[in-house]
Structure 1
Amino acid sequence: SVIASDIGGTLGGRQSVLSARTAKAVGQVLGAGVPFILVSGFNLKVVTRIREQIRTRNESGLWSIVQNGSLILKGNNIVERNYLDLEVAKEVVRFFCDKGLNPIAFASPEMDCRQFTQPVGRDTSFAEAYGCEIVPDIASQLLSDPIQISVYDDNDLIFGMRAEAECLFGGGRCNVIVSVGAEKSWLEITNARSNKLTALTTILRQIGARPEDVMYFGDNLNDVELLKSVGYPVVMNNGLPEVKKLARRIAADCDADGVAEVLEEYLALVSG
Structure 2
Amino acid sequence: MIKLILTDMDGTLLNDNNEINKEFYPIFNKLLDKNIIFGAASGRQYYNLLDRFDKVKENMLFVAENGTYVVYKGKELIINSLERDIAMEIVKIARNIENAFPILCGKEGAYIEKTDPRLLVETKKYYTRHTVVDDLTMVEDEILKVAICDFSGSEINSLKYYNDYTDKVKVAVSGRIWLDITNKNANKGFAVKKLQELFKIRYEETMVFGDYLNDLEMMKSAFYSFAMENAHEDLKKVSRFITKSNNENGVVDTIKEVALNNNVRRLSIEELEEYSV
Q: How does 1:6-17 map to 2 (within 5 A)?
A: 6-17=8-19
- Other structure's SS at 1:176 match: strand
Amino acid corresponding to residue 50 of structure 1 in structure 2 = R
Is the 2:154–2:175 Cα contact (8 Å) retained in structure 1?
no
Question: Which of 199, 220, 236 pairs up with 2:228?
Answer: 236
Q: Give per-residue Cα distances to partners, 1:12-52, cap 9 Å, x unaligned.
A: 22344422102221221122111223211110122112332
Verify: 1:87 aligned to 2:82, yes or no. Answer: no
- Equivalent position of 1:268 in the other structure: 261
The CA deviation at 1:236 is 1.2
Checking the alignment, whether the CA contact within 8 Å between 1:37 and 1:63 is kept in structure 2 is: yes
- CA drift of 1:82 comes to 1.6
- Matches of 1:260 and 1:102, distance apart in 2: 34
> Where in structure 2 are the equivalents of 1:15-164 lying within 5 Å?
15-54=17-56, 59=59, 62-100=60-98, 101-109=100-108, 113=109, 115-119=110-114, 124-129=116-121, 130-131=123-124, 132-140=130-138, 142-156=139-153, 158-164=155-161
Give 1:35's aligned amino acid: I
Query: 2: CA distance between counterparts of 1:11 and 1:143?
Result: 33
Q: 1:245 to 1:207 in 2, by over 3 A?
A: same
For 1:210 and 1:241, the matched residues in 2 are separated by 27
CA contact (8 A) 1:4 1:217 kept: yes
Distance in 1 (CA, whole Å) between partners of 2:20 and 2:228 is: 15
Count how many residue pairs are aligned between Structure 1 and Structure 2: 255
For residues 126-163 of structure 1, what are the alpha-carbon distances to aligned partners after superposition, in whole Å with 9 as ceiling and x for unaligned?
A: 321223544332112x1133222121113556533424
> SS state of the match for residue 175, structure 1?
strand
Q: Which residue number corresponds to residue 164 of structure 2?
A: 167
The equivalent residue for 2:171 is 176
SS at match of 1:159: coil
Instruction: Provide the C-alpha distance between the structure 2 equivalents of 1:41 and 1:223, rounded to a whole number of angstroms.
Output: 10
d(CA) in 2 for partners of 1:270, 1:33: 17
Q: Are the equivalent residues in 2 in contact too, given 1:11–1:22 (CA < 8 A)?
A: no
Contact 1:24 1:55 in 2 (8 A): no
Change (3 A) 1:85 1:247: closer
Distance 2:207 2:48 in 1: 23
Q: Higher helix share goes to which structure?
A: 1
Cα distance in 1 for partners of 2:223, 2:53 equals 25
Q: Judge conservation of contact 1:27–1:55 (CA < 8 Å) in 2.
A: no
SS in 1 for 2:201: coil
Q: Secondary structure at the match of 1:4?
A: strand
Gaps of 5+ in 1: none
How has the CA–CA distance of structure 1 residues 222 and 33 changed in structure 2, closer, same or farther, with 3 Å as cutoff?
A: same
Structure-1-length-normalised TM-score: 0.84
How far apart are 1:102 and its partner, in Å?
A: 2.1
Structure 2 unmatched ranges of 5 or more: 125-129, 266-277
> What does residue 5 of structure 2 align with?
3
Instruction: Report the AA paired with residue 45 of structure 1.
Output: Y
Return the letter of the residue paired with 2:232. L
Residues 5 and 165 (structure 1), Cα distance of their counterparts in 2 relative to 1, 3 Å cut: same
CA contact (8 A) 2:228 2:245 kept: yes
Distance in 2, matches of 1:174 and 1:247, equals 24
Q: What percent identity do the matched residue pairs reach? A: 22
Secondary structure (helix, strand or coil) at the match of 1:18 reads: coil
Which amino acid counterpart does residue 104 of structure 1 have in structure 2?
I
Contact 1:26 / 1:263 at 8 angstroms: preserved in 2? no
Separation in structure 2 between the aligned mates of residue 158 and residue 55 of structure 1, nearest angstrom: 33
**For structure 1, which segment, 8-17 or 222-231, has the greater mean C-alpha deviation from structure 2 after superposition?**
8-17
